[in-house]
Structures are given as C-alpha cells and as structure tokens.
Amino acid sequence: MIFFAITLLVGAYALRIYKLAGQRQSKLFGISFLFISAAYFVQSILNFAASYSMAEECSMRSMTAVHSLSNFGIYSHMILFITGLVTLAYMTLKIKNINAYALFLAAILAVLLLSSNKLYFFYALSSILLIYISFYYLENYLKSRKMSTLIVFTAFLFLLFGKIHFIFSIDHGTFYVAGHLLEFVAYTLILINLIDVIRRK
C-alpha cells in the first residue's frame, strides 16, 4: 500500500506539471507511474485477499474462488507493472511515434504472456527495462551534477537491484524480503525528491 501511495502521488504530480507546462515528457512519466501505482494496488488487494483466506476457515469452493482471483491479480499486476516500465522507457527515448510504443509494448507483453515461467520472465523483463532506465538517469545526473538527479538515479538503481533479487527469490525466500526492502528504499528516495521539489516552490 505504501508503494501504491507513493507512485500514485508521483504520477498525479507529474500530470499536474503536464497540465501547467503542456510538456509531453511529464505526461508520459505521469502515465507510467499511474500504471505502476495500479500494479501495486492490485498486489495489495491480492495480499489482503490471501491473508483473509488464510485467517478464515474457508470451504473448498471459496478456496477455488480465491485461487482464481489470485491468478487474475498476479497477471494484472505483471501486465500493469510492465506497461508502466515500457511507458517510462519510451519516455526516455524521446521519440514521438505511437506505433513504435504500441509495437514495443506488444512485443514485451507477448514475451511475458507466452513464456512458460511467467513470474521469472516478469522479473527478467523488468530488470532489462530498469537497466535501460537507470542508464538514462545516470546520464541525466552526469549532465546536471545535482543532488536531486543523483537521488532519482539511485532510486532507479535500487528498483533494479530489487527486481534482480526477485529473480532469485523464486527459489530462495530471503531474496524476496531483500527485494521488497530495496524497493522500499527506492520509493522512499523518490518520495524524498518529490517532497523537496514541492517544498522549494
């Protein structure tokens, strides 16, 4: 729920900047964070439903319903999160071609949905996209040499490390916890940067 709230805040703020400046990059950035936010919202609901079903004594029928809901939730989370990252990567390319975006998104979603191990491919594809996005933010920092750009670059680096940890978490539970902790640090840094921008106005 924390990740959902932070990404929603950043997405909404980027769209506010778009409304003020009419800048296309802010619109794409805002949309990408809203997709990521929706992915975390779905995950929160999923976690809540799973903990509820474990706490209550459920019938076989309701257990099947929870299982179906769980599958739907996992797929929704993966599709929304990947769409968010693809939108963010498309924003960093600075090209104006909706067909290129559609092709980019369709190719990545096809790889994800047609793979035999969807969870593994989800973490692997997210990591590849985050490597590219992190390089973009490294360049952005090297151009400006400001603390705020360094914070954002570090945040995306932590997100990348988090996703890499999730790849290993499929076999080792400890990596799953480490992945969440790294993501928590990443979103905290993004929130710190956003608060700093708002306070400076």
Q: Rule CB under 8 A: which residues touch another protein?
A: 13-14, 17, 20-26, 29, 91-92, 94, 136-137, 140, 144, 146, 148-149, 151-152, 193, 197-198, 200-201
In the complex with another protein, the residue whose CB is nearer, 136 or 184, is 136
133-140 LR contacts (CB < 8 Å, sep 24+) = 133/85, 133/88, 133/89, 133/92, 134/160, 136/92
The answer to whether residues 94 and 23 touch, using CB atoms and an 8 Å cutoff, is no
- 81: closest CA among 128, 114, 34? 34
In the complex with another protein, the residue whose CB is nearer, 53 or 148, is 148
Least distance in angstroms from the C-beta of 169 to another protein = 29
175-183 LR contacts (CB < 8 Å, sep 24+) = 182/158, 183/3, 183/158, 183/159
In the complex with another protein, the residue whose CB is nearer, 61 or 201, is 201
Least distance in angstroms from the C-beta of 152 to another protein = 6
Least distance in angstroms from the C-beta of 134 to another protein = 11
In the complex with another protein, the residue whose CB is nearer, 76 or 92, is 92
In the complex with another protein, the residue whose CB is nearer, 27 or 180, is 27
In the complex with another protein, the residue whose CB is nearer, 119 or 192, is 192
Least distance in angstroms from the C-beta of 84 to another protein = 14
Distance CA 99, CA 105 (A): 10
Least distance in angstroms from the C-beta of 129 to another protein = 15
The answer to whether residues 152 and 192 touch, using CB atoms and an 8 Å cutoff, is no
The answer to whether residues 33 and 10 touch, using CB atoms and an 8 Å cutoff, is yes
Structure tokens at 113: 């949905």
Least distance in angstroms from the C-beta of 100 to another protein = 17
- 39: closest CA among 115, 98, 91, 112? 112
